Amino acid sequence: MKKTLSFEESLNLTHKQTINYYRNYINKGLATAFGILGLNILDIKSASGCTLELSNGDKILDFTSGIGVLALGHNHKKIVDVERKFQDLNIIDIQKFGPNKLQAALAYNLSQLLPEDLEVCFFAVSGAESVEAAIKMSTMAKGREGKYFISASEGYHGKTLGALSVTDTENFSEGFLLGLPKENTIKIPFNDIQSYKEVVSKITKEKIIAIILEPIQGQIVEPAKENYLKEICEISKKNNITVIFDEIKCGLGRSGTIFSFMEYDCVPDIITTSKALGGGKNAISAMVARRKVFNKAYGSINKSTLHTTTFFGLGEGCATGIETLNIISDKNFLDKVKLKSEKTFKALNKLKDKYPKYIKSIKGKGLFIGIEFDFDNIISSFTFKKIKIPFIKNIKTVLMGSLIREYLHEHKVLLHFTNAQPETLVFLPPLIISDEEIDIFIEATDKVLHKGLINLFAKFIYGNIKFGNN
Ligand SMILES: Cc1ncc(COP(=O)(O)O)c(C=O)c1O
């Protein structure tokens, strides 16, 4: 038999070995992309709050939050304490037959934090699973005539086949046979209420099952306009269409309220939540539905096992979920998020005025902020011919790559972007970020822009990319 690594040996892997194993046994393309973006310097020894400590002693500020998981930062003390207590007391993690205390408590807490009869929970591990649960529940609640799902262009809801059917970004679904037939999914432009009205007026209302939206569209950092979600809910209510708000990335304090839809004076029929729910230490997701939707779908005993999953609310996940919700829902915590958001927007808008040639817009909400750069301006001053670079399809991605590298290598600040909108740099820090850490980000941005983006791009491109001969 071939030898496997013990836990101790795993901890002692060198950084070089780690990169090689990642390349060979996880994902070769991603490993290449990490190299191009300069992320291979991240030989992380430990992490706490916003800070990653590297093996060479360098400290990096992590403003990616594990794409939204680390609302409370790395290894938040209260979450770690809950985990310790959980382990010291030998609390049960999984019990499939009979009621489960921590699941019951987490479900109760979610129902207390949500309005109206939005109070029946389904737990799972990943965000996509909670979206699957919402798709299935709304379908079952609608009844036999239901056929169509409506979602927004550039929306992201996960990559399992059902969730992918309502996802519309970066061609992630191309080449796959989707869970929902393509002809049953309708994409409408986000923030355009007229398009929704048109779809609803064209299709018999009995046939539309649900509309799913993110109150802040994550891939392009676009918050819903003021009355958009309210009108969506009103039109849907009149037409018996289930409204699903995907709060997986934008919820749990990110926007300054516990769930981001709460600022919009409306209540959906179902929400999905995940990412930050496990306090950055556990993978847990939840779908919460209105009681009447649940009752229609799975209310009777013979329907009670129609949608289940083995890892439905593991004990430790629920324990950290309970603690996370209690930390985040504290008014003081949320007020601080709003203040930090205001501070960041103000400072970034100042930079926009200082560098109008480079910054097109500052967008987002709460501590979910995008800096949209004017890359077209810069591209026109280069003569790009054939560029050979694995993984990267779009020259704007290359330009953003050079920015990410500059922030990381020169300013010790980790940021990210999405391929859906590569001209937008995403600032998604832990919500516990300090004012001083915000200042470091602003100062780094000022310095990056002061240096001049054209020089930066030229250095990056010539350093990383092979140009074609013809
Ligand atoms: C808004 C939104 N919905 C769903 C998902 C899918 O979650 P997961 O990757 O945990 O399946 C994500 C993940 O990024 C997301 O941002």
Nearest CA to ligand 1 atom 2: 157
**pLDDT at site 251:** 98
Domain limits for position 287: 78-329
Phi-psi region of 216 (alpha: psi -120 to 50; beta: other; left: phi over 0): beta
**Is the CB of 248 inside a 6 Å radius of any atom of ligand 1?**
yes
Q: Both 322 and 338 in a single domain? A: no
Q: Quick check: is 7 in a domain?
A: no
CA distance 157 to 167: 5
Measured from the CA of 219, which atom of ligand 1 is nearest?
16
Nearest CA to ligand 1 atom 3: 157
Distance (Å) from CA 163 to ligand 1 centroid: 9
CA distance 368 to 366: 5
How many independent structural domains does the chain possess? 2
Q: Which residue has the tokens 């304490």?
A: 81
Q: What is the CATH number of the domain that holds 311?
A: 3.40.640.10
Q: Quick check: is 1 in a domain?
A: no
**pLDDT at site 398:** 84
Q: Quick check: is 6 in a domain?
A: no
**Is the CB of 162 inside a 6 Å radius of any atom of ligand 1?**
no
Position 422, amino acid: P
Q: Quick check: is 380 in a domain?
A: yes
Q: Both 70 and 143 in a single domain? A: no
Q: Both 299 and 358 in a single domain? A: no
**pLDDT at site 144:** 87
Q: What is the CATH number of the domain that holds 31?
A: 3.90.1150.10
| Final residue of a structural domain among 269, 301, 329 | 329
Q: Both 153 and 254 in a single domain? A: yes
Position 354, amino acid: K
Q: How far is CA 7 from CA 12, 13, 27, 41, 219, in A?
A: 9, 10, 22, 23, 36
In this structure, what token pair is assigned to residue 14? Answer: 């060198």
Q: Both 396 and 383 in a single domain? A: yes
| Final residue of a structural domain among 329, 344, 376 | 329
Q: Quick check: is 315 in a domain?
A: yes
Distance (Å) from CA 128 to ligand 1 centroid: 6
Q: Both 268 and 133 in a single domain? A: yes
β-bridge mates for residue 53, sequence order = 46, 59
CA distance 361 to 221: 11
Q: Which residues are within 8 A (CB) of 151 and not within 5 positions of it... i.e. 6 or more apart?
A: 157, 166, 167, 168, 185, 186, 187, 188, 211, 212, 213
Q: Quick check: is 173 in a domain?
A: yes
**Is the CB of 254 inside a 6 Å radius of any atom of ligand 1?**
no
Q: Both 320 and 411 in a single domain? A: no
Distance (Å) from CA 213 to ligand 1 centroid: 12
CA distance 67 to 276: 9
- Among 151, 168, 249, the mutation site with the greatest number of ligand 1 atoms within 8 A of its Cβ is 249
Q: Both 355 and 434 in a single domain? A: yes
**Is the CB of 156 inside a 6 Å radius of any atom of ligand 1?**
yes
**pLDDT at site 394:** 76
Distance (Å) from CA 314 to ligand 1 centroid: 19
Q: Both 101 and 217 in a single domain? A: yes
| Final residue of a structural domain among 285, 312, 329 | 329
Q: Both 67 and 189 in a single domain? A: no
Q: Quick check: is 4 in a domain?
A: no
Q: Both 95 and 65 in a single domain? A: no
Q: Quick check: is 10 in a domain?
A: no
Q: Both 39 and 107 in a single domain? A: no
Give 231: exposed, middle or buried? Use CB within 10 Å, 0-12, 13-18, 19+.
middle
Q: Give pLDDT tens digits along the chain (470 positions).
A: 899 999 999 999 999 999 999 999 999 999 999 998 899 999 999 999 999 999 999 999 999 999 999 999 999 999 999 999 999 999 999 999 999 999 999 999 999 999 999 999 999 999 999 999 999 999 999 998 999 999 999 999 999 999 999 999 888 988 888 899 999 999 999 999 999 999 999 998 789 999 999 999 999 999 999 999 999 999 999 999 999 999 999 999 999 999 999 999 999 999 999 999 999 999 999 999 999 999 999 999 999 999 999 999 999 999 999 999 999 999 999 999 999 999 999 999 999 999 999 999 999 999 999 999 998 877 777 665 455 554 455 788 888 999 999 999 999 999 999 999 999 999 999 999 999 999 999 999 999 999 888 888 777 776 665 544 33
**pLDDT at site 171:** 85
Whether 456 and 407 have beta carbons less than 8 Å apart is answered as no
CA distance 97 to 330: 34
